[in-house]
Amino acid sequence: MKVLMIGAGNMGATFAEGMSKSSLLNGRKLQIYDKNPQKITEAKEKGIFDTYTKLEDCLPKADIVFLAVKPYHIDALFEEMRPLINERQMFVSLMAGVKLETIINGLKAKKVVRAMPNLPAQIGLGVTSYTESNAVSRLELLLVRNFLDMTGKSIHVETEKFIDASTGISGSGPAYVFYFMNSMLEAAKKMGFSDFDSRVLVSHTFEGAVKLFNESDITPKTWMDRVASKGGTTEAALDCMEENNLKDLIEQAAYAAFNRAVELGNE
């Protein structure tokens, strides 16, 4: 199977690197194309890709084509791609806020999958939601899933509404966690800890809590109750969060990202 990645930036290079280990490639190198020569030089240096600087040399023969350019580049890209594609090819978009319909109409293609990845894909711990156009068969979808899973986990969703919704949870979500970490780091430093000690305290607290959660069937709420004893320190902190409606603020933030994803899709 021949797989082509168009766009070798942050997301494209990350996914290409993860997917290059798939056994479905049958030992072939994953192909990568970018119009930016610097990105192609960087991709070439990794020694694991077949790199291309001309679309006509790679696109016509590819079976699955991943799209990882910025959404505002698609008009120019689709125009260039249209004369070089055929009906048997499948297109998988990693682009935020670009609707299936836009890709189907822009490329005059039928088989299109829309995926929403997130940044921890860089270390094989990403989560990607995906959905597909009617023309994609179950078998073809399984192939795509196999490739997406090379960068972490993937979840199939029935409609595009859930792609936009997952943008508000997992797509933008790593930044919410970093926001929380940053606030705790600043509090630790204010209390007098060194930069180094603050980092150890905060990073291990996050890592430990996530591991406890992942290795049990217990809900976060039950874990919170277990940590917080009546009249104790944790209860004082959780009460402060509740009184200040932190939960509602987090929900509002997730919806702000969700709504923005919908808006971007309509622009």
Ligand X SMILES: NC(=O)c1ccc[n+]([C@@H]2O[C@H](COP(=O)([O-])OP(=O)(O)OC[C@H]3O[C@@H](n4cnc5c(N)ncnc54)[C@H](OP(=O)(O)O)[C@@H]3O)[C@@H](O)[C@H]2O)c1
Tell me the sheet residues that pair with 30: 49
260 binds ligand X (CB under 6 A): no
Count residues contacting ligand X (CB under 6 A)?
A: 25
Q: Which of 5, 16, 31, 34 binds ligand X (CB under 6 A)?
A: 34
Among 185, 151, 163, 147, smallest CA distance to 63 is for: 147
Burial class (CB in 10 A: 0-12, 13-18, 19+), 143: buried
Q: Which of 5, 11, 16, 127 binds ligand X (CB under 6 A)?
A: 11
Give the whole-angstrom CA distance, residue 148 versus residue 156: 11
Stretch that binds ligand X, among 6-14, 100-108, 143-151, 205-213 (CB under 6 A): 6-14
DSSP alpha helices (H): ranges in the chain?
10-19, 37-45, 74-81, 100-107, 138-149, 160-166, 173-190, 195-214, 220-227, 233-243, 246-266
73 binds ligand X (CB under 6 A): yes
Among 257, 267, 266, 252, smallest CA distance to 116 is for: 257
9 binds ligand X (CB under 6 A): yes
- CB nearer to ligand X: give 198 or 265: 265
Which helix (H) or strand (E) segment holds residue 32: the answer is strand 30-33
Whether the CB-CB separation of 66 and 14 falls below 8 Å is answered with: no
32 binds ligand X (CB under 6 A): no
Stretch that binds ligand X, among 33-41, 180-188, 195-203, 214-222 (CB under 6 A): 33-41
Q: Footprint of ligand X on residues 148-207 (CB under 6 A)?
A: 171
Closest residue to ligand X, based on beta-carbon distance: 9
Q: Which of 4, 19, 32, 96 binds ligand X (CB under 6 A)?
A: 96
103 binds ligand X (CB under 6 A): no
62 binds ligand X (CB under 6 A): no
User: Phi, psi (5° rounding) for residue 128?
Assistant: -125, 125
Amino acid at 260: R
Stretch that binds ligand X, among 18-26, 63-71, 210-218, 230-238 (CB under 6 A): 63-71
124 binds ligand X (CB under 6 A): no
Which helix (H) or strand (E) segment holds residue 23: the answer is none
Tokens of 10: 């942050």
Binding site for ligand X (CB under 6 A): 6-12, 34-36, 39, 68-71, 73, 76-77, 94-96, 117-119, 171
